Chains A and B, each alone.
Chain A
Amino acid sequence: MTSTTVDTGVTMERIHSREKLFNRICAGVLIAFALLWLVPLAWAVDTALKPNEETTRTTWLIDSPTFDAFTRTFRDTDMLSWYGASFIISSLTAIGVVIVASLAAFAISRMRFRYKNLVFWGILAGIMIPGQVLIVPWFREFDAINLLNTYWAVILPQLPAAIAVFIFKQFFDGLPRDLEEAARMDGASFFRVYRRIVLPLARPAVAAVAIFTFVTTWNDLLWPLLVLSNPDLMTVPVGLATVQGAFGIRYADTMASAILGAIPLVAVFLLFQRQIVQGIAGSGLKG
């Protein structure tokens, strides 16, 4: 490589200067788009910090910035109760999906049994069935077992997540097996191997599935909207959707409620950016 560089030094230099210009244009375009993407969020924050009367003058400047809109939102809506419901539902769903999917994936990745391929393909087929086409039968089902207007109605249908089994299986397949074989030889049960060896090694997959499930469950609207009509049980999206019209022209209050609804997830995003991104990339590319 060194000899080639010496031979074609002049050409390389020209290519380098051309690349530098190209990179600069790239940076310009990218930064412009990124700023454009931040405008709606910045404008929401800007509006929320104004008194309601000031919001009708469309300017970024704020004469008398105030947090009143946030205080009013807490006072006039059930935001805290929505947070609680969303947190309980999303956490339980995330934990449940991780346990149920990783157990199934362990069996498929590590054990030999009859009809294994059939089971695996049967589970994969589930990826093709979107929950949205099942809302009608689900509703009848939960109505029949008297679980409408409970957290269970939101949590249970999300637990058999075929995609999570797939992600765990891919990850388990890639783990080295020496340690488990030694443990198995010492008489450790499959469950012990799963719990003490494989699951700890699979921490990245566990984190990715858990956080991704948490975020998607938190954001779900259609199904929770149908089954949570009791205001005490409403999640953040359902609550916001219900009070949406009530603010009228109090734009500062509206934006304050939007920001308060966004804050928990922005926090999750900032804390777990890497795992969320890995979750998406992992589920996608290896498919």
Chain B
Amino acid sequence: MSTQTSTQTDTDLGRGIAPTAPRRGGGLGQGRSAAGFLAPFVILYLLFVIGPTIYGLLLSFTNASLVKPGLNGFAGFGNYGEALGSGDFWSSLWHTLWFTILTTPPLVILGFVLALLANRLGRGRWFFRLAFFAPYVLPSAVVALIWLWLYTPALGLLDTALAKVGMTPPSWLGDAAWAMPSLAITTVWWTLGFNFVLYLAGLQEIPRDLYEAAAMDGAGPWQQIRSITIPMLGRTTTLVAVLQVIASLKVFDQMYLMTQGGPNFATRSILQLVYDEGFTNFRVGYAAAVSMLFFIVVLAVSAVWFTLVRRQEKVV
């Protein structure tokens, strides 16, 4: 095909995009231009997403080390067997889940309630968005510095405030039982704004006349929330909850910065285990296997989300 004819076909097909325009020519004439548009993304995608995923899978079956070149011999399922039989793996998986359990309900429920209130109020929305969302744009390192100071034993604002009302403050980050809840509190403060904004957007899509009609039928505010707002926000809630679970499972920064996984490894998350094994102990193959096991957990959560969304779409 000469250049000229190919250009000609392109032009004709361009018209074919409109559903009303007459369709002429085959469906393949735009292939070459399309390849040009897709190439930069696809090449980078293969190099830095698909390629590394396959390479990571491969590494997970080897004894690869950070300080030795090459794959250093195949290990079969050895790394997986070791991970599944190791206390460190299960405890860091449990810490990650425990963190997810501690953060998801408050972040979803508070995000919903506060967005609902802000939406009802109408006025001063910029102020609430500032208060709740501003922490979300801060780097984790800034958040960690601020909260380490708030949690400082005896001198910190929290301890002083609790002492003033006659309560004995716990040893926030120093106590194995309290460290994770403390990290969860910090995280709720830090990331609530994200869910708040998602819910606020969802609320604004609910038509106002639904509420007016309900009010006309004598429904009070509480009934309106129960019978209109909550069902109408079903999809938003699924989305917020799943994004939240995935974000919480990927936790690393807070622990790394605030407790270094301590005290006594009580807050080491699965990603920190990958970091420790791969980059402190140089066990690349083992770290890759732990990454893959973690990836399976994330995929399972995403799969649950897909089924939920499918089901919701069928109902609607």
Query: Which A positions have Cβ atoms within 8 angstroms of B?
Result: 4, 8, 11, 15, 18-19, 22-23, 26-27, 29-30, 33-35, 37-41, 43-44, 47, 55-56, 58, 99-101, 103-104, 106-108, 110-114, 116, 119, 123, 126, 128-130, 132-141, 156-157, 159-160, 162, 165, 177, 180-181, 184-185, 187, 189-191, 193-194, 215, 218-219, 221-222, 226, 236-238, 240-241, 244, 251, 254-255, 257-259, 261-262, 265-266, 268-269, 273, 276-277, 280-281, 284-285, 287
Q: How far is the CB of B198 from chain A (nearest CB, A)?
A: 5
Give the contacting residue for A43; candidates B17, B34, B157; CB below 8 A: B157
Give the contacting residue for A137; candidates B17, B52, B126; CB below 8 A: B52
Give the contacting residue for B198; candidates A30, A134, A281; CB below 8 A: A281
Q: How far is the CB of B208 from chain A (nearest CB, A)?
A: 13
Assess the A261–B41 pair: CB atoms within 8 A: no
Assess the B31–A41 pair: CB atoms within 8 A: no
Assess the A240–B142 pair: CB atoms within 8 A: yes
Assess the B52–A134 pair: CB atoms within 8 A: yes
- Contacts A34-B127, A111-B30; is A285 near B239 (CB within 8 Å)? yes
Give the contacting residue for B239; candidates A44, A128, A284; CB below 8 A: A284
Assess the B252–A111 pair: CB atoms within 8 A: no
Q: How far is the CB of B202 from chain A (nearest CB, A)?
A: 6
Q: How far is the CB of A257 from chain B (nearest CB, A)?
A: 7
Assess the B132–A22 pair: CB atoms within 8 A: no
Query: Which B positions have Cβ atoms within 8 angstroms of A?
Result: 10-11, 13-18, 21, 27-28, 30-31, 33-38, 40-42, 44-45, 47-53, 55-56, 59, 64, 66, 110, 114, 117-118, 120-121, 126-135, 137-142, 144-150, 152, 155-157, 160, 189, 192, 194, 197-198, 200-202, 205, 215-216, 218, 220-222, 235-236, 239-240, 243, 246, 250, 252-253, 256-257, 271, 274-275, 278-279, 284, 287-288, 291-292, 294-295, 298-299, 302
Q: How far is the CB of B275 from chain A (nearest CB, A)?
A: 7
Main secondary structure of the interface of B (DSSP, over half): helix
- Contacts A181-B17, A280-B198; is A100 near B44 (CB within 8 Å)? yes
Q: How far is the CB of A112 from chain B (nearest CB, A)?
A: 5
Give the contacting residue for A240; candidates B55, B141, B250; CB below 8 A: B141
Complex A-B, nearest 8 residue pairs according to Cβ-Cβ distance, in ascending order:
A184-B14, A281-B201, A107-B37, A240-B141, A34-B131, A104-B41, A258-B145, A160-B45
Assess the A112–B13 pair: CB atoms within 8 A: yes
Give the contacting residue for A104; candidates B31, B42, B131, B275; CB below 8 A: B42
Which A residues touch B192, using CB under 8 A?
Answer: 37
Q: How far is the CB of B250 from chain A (nearest CB, A)?
A: 5
Which A residues touch B240, using CB under 8 A?
Answer: 284
Main secondary structure of the interface of A (DSSP, over half): helix
Assess the B257–A30 pair: CB atoms within 8 A: no
Give the contacting residue for B291; candidates A30, A135, A184; CB below 8 A: A135
Assess the B198–A165 pair: CB atoms within 8 A: no
Assess the B274–A18 pair: CB atoms within 8 A: no
Assess the B149–A269 pair: CB atoms within 8 A: no
